[in-house]
Amino acid sequence: MTPRSHRPPEERQIVSEVHRLLNEPGLMRGTLVRTKRRCGKPGCRCAGGKRLHPSLYVSQSHQGRLRMRCVPKAWEDRVRQWIQRHRRVREFLERLSERYWRRLIQRED
């Protein structure tokens, strides 16, 4: 294994950022989806189909199937951070992978 100090500066920066993100709490793959729905209460304003209630769901493919879960209002910011963190980790890993792809093509050590 190559010592960290022998890695190029950009690679060290990418690896450091991935480590930092992985040390923060929460990481989730998914997409936030805003929908409108009926609550089911007979006397509610939404019962007639007008003025439906806004709801936030997280959507994710799992084992070839789509699954969705309602995100409580109190959890909205937290779940947004988890999803954003996952996206950033993937972006950094993609950059790192591209660097190694170029090294393979150029036959660099």
Average pLDDT of the segment spanning 54-78? 95
- Residue 109 in this model has a pLDDT that exceeds 70: no
pLDDT at res. 72: 94
pLDDT at res. 2: 59
Domain residues for the domain of 62 are 4-106
Tokens standing for residue 81: 């951070």
For the residues of the chain, what is the DSSP string, one character each? Answer: ---GGGS-HHHHHHHHHHHHHHHSS-----EEEEEEE----TTSTTTTSSSPEEEEEEEEEETTEEEEEE--GGGHHHHHHHHHHHHHHHHHHHHHHHHHHHHHHHT--
For residue 8, name the pLDDT band (cuts at 50, 70, 90): confident
Please identify which residue in the block is written with the tokens 């660099």.
108
Could you give the number of structural domains in the chain? Answer: 1
Quick: pLDDT tens for 68-104: 999 999 999 999 999 999 999 999 999 999 998 998 9
For the entire predicted model, the pTM comes to 0.78
Quick: pLDDT tens for 31-40: 999 998 888 8
- Residue 1 in this model has a pLDDT that exceeds 60: no
pLDDT at res. 77: 95
**Contact present, 26 and 81 (Cβ < 8 Å):** yes
